[in-house]
Chains A and B, each alone.
Chain A
Amino acid sequence: MDCPDFETLFAAQLEGTGEYAEHVAGCPDCAAILEEHRQLEKDLFRLADPLPPADLVARVMQRVAAEPLPVRAEMRVGLSILAATLMAAVLSFVATRGPIGLLGASAARAVVAWKTALWGLNNAVQVVWSTTAIPLTVSLTLLLFLSLVGLRRVAPPRAVEIEVHP
């Protein structure tokens, strides 16, 4: 009898295709090996991890106590990034060879442009306010109230956190 490759046989069994069911039923060799695998799986599932040494946690925490706090480590990373950025900025100013440099000039132009735009916006708001202050306030309050009511309806109920520890 031509027996299929065992890996293929197992894959078929796992997928539940029943492709080789007939073969296994008629082949005592394959049936025996399949049974051995099943028994082996059962035994393997019953094994457990050994308990760690009783002082493992204490030893770890002793070593951890000698370490800087993780917050400080994060701060160190942040400061390194800041220092690198400053260094890059200084280098770029130096590289442009001007008293302020091209980068500085473009930054100044952007500030001036934004300042003009903000002045314009401020003037527009003042004009609108001086003409329709009361209707505007009422409409905005109503809009805010309706949005809050709508959000409350849409928001799901508060979830209960369940922590699952293996």
Chain B
Amino acid sequence: MLAERTPTLPYRAEVRAARRGDRSAFETLVRSVQRPVYGLCLRLLRVEAEASEVAQETFLRAYQNLHRYDDGKPFDLWVMAIARNLCLDLLRRRSRMLTDNVDDMHEVLPSGEVSQEDSVIAGEERRSLESALSTLSVDDREVLSLYYVQKRTTKEIAVVMGVAPGTIMARLFRAREKLRKRMTANSEEAA
């Protein structure tokens, strides 16, 4: 399990510069956190175009509300919380709920570029894991993706999700147990 890290506050200088009107500083911030933000959006929404649109909207909202951001707290978590809320709003508005073809996800999560990294597991194994993961509920996908994919601590996840840190390990266990059952069922079907 991940050890709880001492909170560090990167991006502080960029946030201050952006507040003073330095747009290039804001661009640096966007570049730094675009991957986890887009990753979370895609895990929750499961549609690339929507994830991209929501990620853009997230950064725009962050820019518009920079004066409200408390720079004693991590900037990336603040942006992730905005992204999460926008995703949940969109999911609530969606008329079609969880009826997407999960095969779409095989091609988009994760992208080919990362497969060259040492940490990425073999394609077939990854696809079956992604496939099972995408059939879970939004809450389960979110907690698993923040903890395992983004390597966030339970405290950080609690900040993004707006829940008590003490509940995260139990949520993780339940989500993982559901995933295990899906994986077992899928492999039995395949056999």
Residues of A within 8 A of B (CB): 6-7, 10-11, 14, 33, 36-37, 40-41, 43-53, 56-57, 59-61, 63-65, 67, 69-74, 77, 163-166
CB of B34 closer than 8 Å to a CB of A = yes
Q: Which residues of A contact B55 (CB under 8 A)?
A: 52, 56, 60
| Of B63-71, B90-98, B157-165, the one with at least 4 CB within 8 A of chain A | B63-71
Q: Are B31 and A40 in contact (CB under 8 A)?
A: no
Indicate the member of A44, A70, A164 with the most B CB atoms within 10 Å.
Answer: A70
Contact with B148, one of A47, A67, A166 (Cβ below 8 angstroms): A47
- Excluding A14-B1, A44-B148, A69-B21, 13 further A-B contacts by CB distance (< 8 Å) are A36-B184, A46-B120, A49-B39, A51-B35, A51-B110, A51-B111, A57-B34, A61-B26, A61-B30, A64-B59, A73-B66, A164-B8, A164-B10
Q: Which residues of B contact A73 (CB under 8 A)?
A: 64, 66-67
Q: Are A46 and B121 in contact (CB under 8 A)?
A: yes
CB of B85 closer than 8 Å to a CB of A = no
Q: Which residues of B contact A43 (CB under 8 A)?
A: 121, 125-126, 129
CB of A91 to closest CB in B, whole Å: 28
Looking at chain B's contact residues, the main secondary structure is helix
A71 with B173, Cβ < 8 A, contacts A50-B38, A50-B42, A60-B56 known: no
Q: Are B60 and A63 in contact (CB under 8 A)?
A: yes
- Bound-complex Cα distance A77 to B19 (A): 14
Q: Are A70 and B148 in contact (CB under 8 A)?
A: no
Q: Which residues of A contact B130 (CB under 8 A)?
A: 47
Contact with A36, one of B60, B110, B150, B180 (Cβ below 8 angstroms): B180
CB of B127 to closest CB in A, whole Å: 11
12 inter-chain pairs at a CB distance below 8 angstroms, sorted by A residue, are: A7-B173, A40-B179, A43-B126, A49-B114, A49-B149, A52-B35, A64-B23, A64-B63, A70-B67, A74-B67, A165-B10, A166-B36
Q: Are B121 and A64 in contact (CB under 8 A)?
A: no
CB of B48 to closest CB in A, whole Å: 8
A57 with B30, Cβ < 8 A, contacts A7-B173, A47-B110, A64-B60 known: yes
Looking at chain A's contact residues, the main secondary structure is helix
Indicate the member of B56, B174, B177 with the most A CB atoms within 10 Å.
Answer: B56
Q: Which residues of A contact B60 (CB under 8 A)?
A: 60, 63-64, 67
A6 with B177, Cβ < 8 A, contacts A52-B38, A52-B52, A163-B10 known: yes
